[in-house]
Amino acid sequence: MSTHHPSTDDTNSRPKAVLFCPECGHESPLTGDWIVRENAGRTTHTCPACDATVGDRRRPEPALAY
């Protein structure tokens, strides 16, 4: 039989999808206050506090219907 002990670690209280700015330390959920730009098949997340690029990803291409 196993025993479950609740964690007291504060990191368990934040949402799983949290972005952190490497420049200034700003943190917010993925759907939070980040500036999101979508162009040329890419999505870029920029920090609202210091304007650093936090994430730059290629968007998946839509599947072709045959």
Look at the block and give the residue holding tokens 């759907």.
Answer: 31
Whole-prediction pTM value? 0.63
DSSP reduced 3-state for 65:
coil
In whole angstroms, give the CA distance from residue 32 to residue 50: 15
Q: So where are the chain's domains? A: 16-58
Predicted pLDDT at 7 = 47
| CA distances (Å), origin 5, targets 2, 9, 15, 42 | 10, 12, 20, 43
Q: What is the pLDDT of residues 29-43, one digit of tens each?
A: 988 999 999 988 899
The answer to whether residue 11 scores a pLDDT higher than 60 is no
